[in-house]
Every structure is written in structure tokens, then in C-alpha cells.
Amino acid sequence: MANIHDYLYWRGDLPFSNVPINELDGLVLTRFAYMPMEELTLDPSETVVSICEKLKTLPVDKFRLEGDMQFVHLLSKSDRFDDLIVTDFVKNNDPEAVLQFAAVTIHLPNDELYIAYCGTDSTLTGWKEDFYMSFMEDVPAQKKALDYALAICKKYPGKPFHLGGHSKGGNLAIYTAVNLPAELKELLVHVSNYDGPGFPRSFIDSHDFSSVNERLYSWLPQESMIGRIHEHEEGFRVIESTENGIMQHDIYSWTTLPTSMRVLGAPDDTSEITYRAIQNILTNTTPEQRKRYIDRIFDLLTSTDGNSFGEAFRNLPLKFTDVFRSVTDMTAAEHKENSEMTATVVRSFLDAALSYHEEKLPDFGGMLDKFTFDIPNVPVLEKLKEKL
């Protein structure tokens, strides 16, 4: 199956003057925002290709995904992206503020701008901020994204612009679009959200989505999990991935046609169950409970002195005493709340799976009666039979 690498190979020689920007170009530019440009010395007159030439000199472990190095090599040979000027790269990770943010501006040949937001990186700070979206309507990266766009529009006045991002970056793009002042919304061309979370219903109801909704586009793979967090007022298109489960979040698994991604009819069971389970969790817990639970989990992870999940688990044997002390320092009330929250999460996914399959397969209950369960007191089976 073809993917974004193949797109660069097939269409990389076609200038934007002949073939206008499309959803795959947006996917290329939003992935470009993830590249480790903080490792480079950037000149004021950099282009996409000149930066890729510098990126090619970095070791592989500086890149996030397995497909990134091939992406950089293909992009470095692309005439389509060769002359696109790149400016205003920023990266700001602040554990104290629970902020992880990066963005870059690409100047398109028709005098338009493409503001690309980076999604979650591998740091614990980035993931903690993502979890904070479960109880905060305006996380620090969202505010930073709006400030960045306002600054870019002031620096390059009057220029039409696109907003885009993958994962959290897509959420930042839509957040920015709905919060822009009216005069800048007039210059907004298009907003692309590639498998990014939506927004709580309370946020949607209190913000003016109608003024930009026809310019908001979201794409989610068929088993999307990240993209099914919260609601998508703009709707979304389901696209095909060759991976399974959470690995479908990897854009290199998304199948492509010559100028678009391959669209499917509807999300599959995994995606629908994830959506229902998250809604169950949000319904059955308070924002304060979710914050305390998330803070405790990440306090344990950071007690390993790791900056990422990988480092945290690698450091665990050496830092076991510190982690154990963090656990024992919790009060009885905190331990009780942790247990209750964990049970709620597990129960939410179980109930979501059962309710979904009950609706989808109404005869499943009768099918169960045809089987003889020789093993007594199997909790999951008993629960399943009760529900059906």
C-alpha cells in the first residue's frame, strides 16, 4: 500500500504553481514540524530542503518515528517543496508549566503561509499536558498556539494562511482557528487536523465554531484512539491505515492515492468503543479527580529522573527506592482514590465494549446460550451474559 513516502516520490516534482496544495501536502508540512530542528543551527533564509539536508546529518535516534529518516531523504529531493521558505521555528518545553509546544511557519509560493503545529513529542511533559485536556479547556500549548498565530499574522500582515497539525497539533490548529479575531478569520484559508483530539461539548458550545466550521477538516484512521477523545464539531473523514490499534496514529501507516488519502466509510469497533469509554470516564469522574490521578501517575514517572516513558522505565531499576518512597508517601485517601479511578477506567472500557456489541449484535445474547461454560464463575462471561 502506498503512503506519504510514495506521494513524495510520485508528486515531488510538481510545483505548487501547477498543482495547488492538497491534504497530502498538509500532512507533509505537519510532519515536517515534528523534525528535530532544535538540534540544528538555522539560518534566516532556510528552505524546507536546506533544513532537510541538515537533518540528514543527525543520528537516527534524534527522530521520533521509524519513517522519519526516509521522509527527510525524500523531502530533500523534492522540487515541490524545494523553494518553500521556513521561518519562526519555536520549541518550548516547560515541565513546571506542563507545557510542550513547537511550531514552524512555511511560506507557500502563492504568498500564503502554512502554520504547522507539532503534536505530542516523546517527553513526559508532553504526554502529561495531553492528559490535562481531560479536565482543562485551555491547556498551555493551546494558548501558546493562539499567541504564535497572532504573532505570525502581525509579522506578515495581510497574508492568507493555513493552520495544520497532527495529533495534539491538529487540536491546536482548530483551537487557534475558533479563537482568532474576526479580521484574521477572514484571512484563514484552511485548517487541517490529522488524528487530533476534539473538544469538550462545553468548549464547543461557548466558542464560535460556525464562523470557521466549513474550513475545518479532520482525518482519523479507522481504529483511531487519540482522535476520538472529545467531540468533533467539524465532523471527520475516516482514512485507511495498515497498522492496528494505537499504532494507526503513525502517519506512515496511512494509505494514499495520488492526491489524497484513502477514505473509508466509518470508524471500526475499536474506535467506537474507545470513544464511548472516554465519554464514560468523563461522565463518572470529576475534573478535580482526574487532575489528582494524572498528577500522581506522572509524579511516580518523574521520580525515576526520566524525561520520557522510555527513560522512565529504563531508569526504574536504579530509581526503585525513590519510586517506592513516592508510593508509600501517599495517604490512605490518595491510595483509595487511585484504586477507585483505576476501577472506573477499567469499568468504562468494559461497559463501552458490552454496550456497543449489544447494539451492533442484538442476537449475541441468544448465541451465548448455545454454548456451555464448564468453568464456573467466570466474571467477564457472567457480566457479558447479564448485559445481553
What is the three-state SS of 32-82?
HCCCCHHHCCCCCCCEHHHHHHHHCCCCHHHCCCCCHHHHHHHHHCCHHHH
Contact 263, 255 (CB under 8 A): no
Predicted local confidence at residue 314, as pLDDT: 80
Q: Which three cell numbers stand for residue 361?
A: 449484535
Tell me the HSE value of 261 on the side-chain side, using a 13 A CA sphere: 30
Give the three-state DSSP class for 136: coil
Predicted local confidence at residue 309, as pLDDT: 65
What are the structural domains of the chain?
4-266 (3.40.50), 277-387 (no CATH)
CA-CA-CA-CA torsion for 188, 165, 104, 210, nearest 10 degrees? 20
Q: CA nearest 122: which of 64, 166, 172, 72?
A: 64
Tell me the HSE value of 270 on the side-chain side, using a 13 A CA sphere: 14
Where the chain has pLDDT below 70, the residues are 308-309, 361-388
Predicted local confidence at residue 370, as pLDDT: 37
Predicted local confidence at residue 39, as pLDDT: 96
Predicted local confidence at residue 140, as pLDDT: 92
- Report phi then psi at 339, rounded to 5: -65, -45
Predicted local confidence at residue 388, as pLDDT: 45
Its pTM stands at 0.87
Predicted local confidence at residue 283, as pLDDT: 87
Contact 19, 11 (CB under 8 A): yes
Predicted local confidence at residue 364, as pLDDT: 45
CA dist 263 and 292 (Å) reads 40
> What are the DSSP E strand ranges found in the chain?
85-94, 99-107, 113-117, 161-166, 188-194, 216-221, 237-239, 263-264
